């Protein structure tokens, strides 16, 4: 299991843009730009549940994908978006004059990556593949080894739990 830190993209003029780390509560009053739930329902629900638990309830959830479209929503509609730092390098490097990436205080959000295969089928090819994926994610996505996985908590498909 590998973990990628998720931070927040926000307009440079937003008050939270001046913070070194942004608590989720500082995002209240902002819409959230998020991928469609149908693309990854569990991740979508986990993001919204974590936001609610940590004090951020978006005024609206707007759906968008693609860096240019998300950028437009951030600049035109008092919105923020979650993103790993490496997903938008221009924002992370400070090269975008209008958008900034900031880490979230306490790192409450993370994207975890894992691979699974049937028990007893772990031959040399599987081990080589697993090592290649691990090396690639650690090297290009700043992923780190994660703690042992927590138990899976199934959520209803039409809502998230608080």
pLDDT in tens, 97-120: 899 999 999 888 877 766 676 767
pTM for the complete prediction? 0.70
What b/e sequence results for 74-93 when a residue is b if at least 16 CB atoms lie within 10 Å of its CB, and e otherwise? Answer: beeeebbbbbbbebbeebbe
Q: Are strands 144-145 and 31-34 parallel, antiparallel or unpaired?
A: unpaired
Q: Which of the four pLDDT bands, split at 50, 70 and 90, describes residue 144? A: low
pLDDT of residue 150 exceeding 50, the answer is: no
User: Is residue 25 a contact partner of residue 56, using CB atoms and an 8 Å limit?
Assistant: yes
The pair of structure tokens assigned to 103 is: 């880490």
**Domains of the chain listed by start with CATH number:** 2-112 (3.40.190.10)
Q: Which of the four pLDDT bands, split at 50, 70 and 90, describes residue 25? A: very high
Q: Cα separation of 138 and 132, whole Å? A: 10
């Amino acid at each position: 299991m590998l973990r990628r830190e998720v931070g927040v993209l926000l307009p440079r003029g937003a008050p939270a843009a001046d913070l070194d780390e942004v608590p989720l509560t500082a995002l209240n009053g902002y819409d959230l730009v998020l991928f469609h739930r149908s693309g990854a329902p569990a991740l979508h629900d986990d993001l919204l549940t974590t936001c609610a638990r940590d004090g951020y309830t978006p005024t609206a959830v707007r759906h968008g994908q693609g860096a240019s479209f998300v950028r437009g929503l951030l600049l035109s509609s008092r919105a923020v978006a979650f993103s790993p730092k490496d997903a938008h390098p221009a924002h992370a490097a400070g090269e975008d004059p209008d958008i900034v990436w900031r880490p979230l205080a306490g790192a409450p959000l993370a994207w975890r990556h894992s691979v699974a295969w049937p028990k007893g089928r772990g031959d040399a090819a599987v081990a080589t593949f697993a090592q290649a994926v691990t090396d690639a994610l650690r090297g290009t996505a700043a992923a780190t080894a994660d703690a042992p996985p927590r138990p899976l908590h199934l959520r209803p498909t039409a809502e998230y739990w608080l």
